[in-house]
Amino acid sequence: MSAAPENQFHSDLYGGRLTIDVDAISRNWRVLKDKLGGKSECAAAIKADAYGTGQKEVGRALFAAGCRTFFVAVPTEAIALRQVLPEAVIYALNGLLPGTSGPYLEHNIRPVLGSLAEVKDWIALCKSSDRSLDAAVHVDTGIHRLGLSPEEFSQTLGDAGMMGPFVPSLLMSHLACGSTPSHAMNRRQLELFREVTAPHAHLPRSLANSAGVLMGEDYHFDLVRPGISLYGGQAIDDDPNPMTPVAKVEARIMIVRDVPEGDTIGYGAMHTAKRPLRNAVVAAGYADGMLRRAGSTDERPGGFAMISGHKAPILGRISMDMITLDVTDIPEHLLERGTYVEMLGPNVATADLAAYAETIDYEYLTSLGRRFERVYAPLT
């Protein structure tokens, strides 16, 4: 059975609503672009369905704003993006799996070659075509995921006979600790990247993710690849976030009820009422991307929602389809059945909610709203 099209139902049938502001995403891209002073190209990472906000809609908006280069993770994402952005440069970060060169060429997708085996396969393809085919080469400067070792990188790119007609369209690496600018790893990676790419400085180079953009010109090189900052996320842990929120999750109140002092709330009886409470049960849960770890216990507080300017702490465990909120001190007229409650958005920062769940805002954004009505509109 195929998946039902989004928003095929009347809006009242949805338990929640995910509002996405693509104009805010475009504004965030312009903020980052302005930090480059015209010296580097500002690309965009829109993998994982543009961090959960909709790859096609976000791709169109960013292209209209002036973005011309996009990074996704896998070739299926790249092919889907090509359908809506026929003129864009599109890189697939996860590289070249065996036997997949045909679709890359057919759809004008550029693989980011992340191993010596991938580079050799691409070189063989270039030699058989007697021309250079666009692809990036990734050198590992310390994160130890994808990428040629510095030795492999230097030996391969320095061997004209081995390279044949292949001229990489981009040389790149990836920061391991950009969210902590003071971490010594950042400077070590920067210096190693400079060193190994120096003989090839005539080729475009890229090191900076969102944090790298904010860390300054040393990290910018020829092209930057922001991701989380485009979506309003916190790229640098301890600095004020200069980006604008782009998504709002709202869930509807199903019932408001009284909880006597001493009674427990939710699965596992993890949260005990310390006073007589009123709670509101809303139609959202971990199946909608509201992570279970953000629930509360008697030992630790959980996250919170906002109801017309009033903070409503989460009570007990988050379940698959429901969350219980403490609404004891919220005026009753704001708690009508069916009322929308802000679970995440301008008043509930993704990074704050992620902290309660002991995770990062990336995980929240890429998990949100599987069953919600999806609306593309300015946030209000």
Cβ atoms of 134 and 110 closer than 8 Å:
yes
What would the DSSP string read from start to end of 160-217? HHHHTT---SEEE---SSTTSTT-HHHHHHHHHHHHHHGGGTTS-EE---HHHHHH-G
Instruction: Specify the amino acid at residue 282.
Output: V
Query: Nearest-CA neighbor of 247 among 23, 72, 38?
Result: 23
DSSP secondary-structure letter at 22?
H
Q: CA 179, 312, 366: angle at the middle one, nearest 5?
A: 40
Rounded-to-integer distance, Cα 338 and Cα 221, Å: 51
- Residue 253 CA: distances (Å) to CA of 14, 29, 117, 368: 12, 35, 54, 18
Mapped onto helix, strand or coil, the DSSP state of residue 246 is coil
Who contacts 194 (Cβ-Cβ below 8 Å, separation ≥6)? none
DSSP-assigned letters across all residues of 286-343: GGGT--GGG---SSS---EEEETTEEEEB-S---SS-EEEE-TTS-GGG--TT-EEEE
Tell me if residue 104 is catalytic.
Answer: no
User: Which residue shows structure tokens 């994982």?
Assistant: 48
Token pair of 279 as six digits: 């709670």
Handedness of CA 29, 61, 378, 74 (dihedral sign): negative
Q: Could you say which DSSP state residue 321 is in?
A: S
CB 355 within 8 A of CB 305: no
Q: Of 51, 120, 127, 267, which is the active-site residue?
A: 267
Identify the active-site residue in 47, 51, 362, 364: 47
Question: Tokens 């896998």 label which residue?
Answer: 74
- 281 forms beta bridges with 255, 324
Task: Give the DSSP H/E element, type plus range, for residue 355.
Answer: helix 350-356
**Among all residues, which ones are annotated catalytic?**
47, 267
